[in-house]
Structure 1
């Protein structure tokens, strides 16, 4: 029974994954337009951020869309396959749950933020037009 359920969900991901990625591409939001100096400052602040995500996760898509809307150049790491990014997520954040935003401050201290709504709220508070 376990194999049947696992096969069902793998097939579902295989079928729906490309549809979700296509939908994300077709509904891309228009990014904030900043002056070159403002955008350079925002890009510099984004160097301390990294998004651990799965390509077809709907909550990860929600965060990526918000990052596009805010014109943020945040490093994105695919944590779905076993590899260095997944190992880093497990070692730093403690769980292989996505989306996860790694926030590294000037002193090198890292904070791991889970939950798409919390990540989007953080990005909006830090990078929206009012705070730039």
Structure 2
């Protein structure tokens, strides 16, 4: 079973590489404003997780670069996710708003949030 997941994960990454979405074009001021918004966002993810790929593709579409943390291979990131969010489940978007952390777990909700904030 693990072999199948590894192979499928690599296929997903290859297809994502081949069919990478184009990012939105913004004015320089609008892009600077978007870049400031992402300072408070962190995405905890696994590289080959299909739901994480879905979220990363939306990040690419919105032309934003947020901090990505690999909760599979980085033990510190994994512990941060478990301590802060309460469970090790990816993708998880950590939103820090005025010093208060909110942990968003569902890829559909994360994509909707990104579209609302950056579209």
Does 2:104 align with 1:113? yes
Give TM-score, length-normalised by structure 2: 0.96
Change in Cα spacing, 1:11 to 1:110, as seen in structure 2 (3 Å) is same
Moved over 2 A (4+): none
Partner of residue 77, structure 1: 69
Displacement, 1:40?
1.0
Instruction: Say how many residue pairs are matched.
Output: 119
Post-superposition CA distance 1:67-110 (Å, at most 9, x none) = 100111111111013500000000000000000000001x2110
Aligned mates of 1:75, 1:55 — CA distance in 2 = 14
Paired with 1:59 and 1:52, the residues of 2 have a C-alpha distance of 12
Match status 1:53 vs 2:45: yes
Structure 1: stretches of 5+ with no match in the other structure: 1-8
Shift in Å at residue 36 of structure 1? 1.3
State which structure, 1 or 2, has the greater radius of gyration over its C-alpha atoms.
Answer: 1
RMSD: 1.0
Q: Which runs of 5+ in 2 are unaligned?
A: none
Residues 46 and 82 of structure 1: CA distance in aligned 2, closer, same or farther (over 3 Å): closer
